[in-house]
Amino acid sequence: MDVLQCDGFYDDVRLRVRSDELYRAYELMYPRDKKIVTPQILGLTGIAGMAALWSDRGRIVGRIAKIRSRLDPEANIALAEWCKKHDFECRHIAKLDRSYGVQFTPEATQAFITAVRPYTHKVMRKTFKKTPPRR
């Protein structure tokens, strides 16, 4: 684990958990702590990259997993296509002209969680728990 100094907008310091696979994926997907997702990066990082994204922006609501990536539409579409190619059925979440991320089917949620669990540090496993849906 290491400590990163931040600009203070959200926090002054950030703790970063390291493991061999997750660290390599993180360095490709977050150069200088700016998130970048392309089909090429997803191809290189694989499931470890998805675990990094899940640790950062994933959650389960009810029986459905979502990755609210806050990326541009092209990156979110690439993310959804990668997931579908690897048998995690999902759809791109978009409303009006805004792109939000991907949403998995209930069946794919279970498969996805099973796949990313070995790459996710114990501290981040709270994201595997269900949160009640919004009303």
Instruction: Using a pLDDT cut of 70, give the percent of the chain over it.
Output: 76
CATH code at position 89: 3.10.28.10
Region 25-31 average pLDDT: 74
Please indicate, yes or no, if residue 85 is contained in any of the structural domains.
yes
Please indicate, yes or no, if residue 37 is contained in any of the structural domains.
yes
7 DSSP 8-state letter: -
| pLDDT interval class at 55 (50, 70, 90) | confident
Element spanning 98, H or E:
strand 98-104
- Predicted confidence at residue 45, as pLDDT, reads 84
Q: Which domain holds residue 19?
A: 2-6+14-122
Number of continuous H segments (helices) and E segments (strands) in the chain: 4, 7
Predicted confidence (pLDDT) at residue 106 exceeds the cutoff of 90: yes
Please indicate, yes or no, if residue 133 is contained in any of the structural domains.
no
Please indicate, yes or no, if residue 131 is contained in any of the structural domains.
no
Predicted confidence (pLDDT) at residue 81 exceeds the cutoff of 70: yes
Mean pLDDT for the chain? 81
Sign of CA dihedral 47, 58, 130, 22: positive
Q: How many domains does the chain have?
A: 1
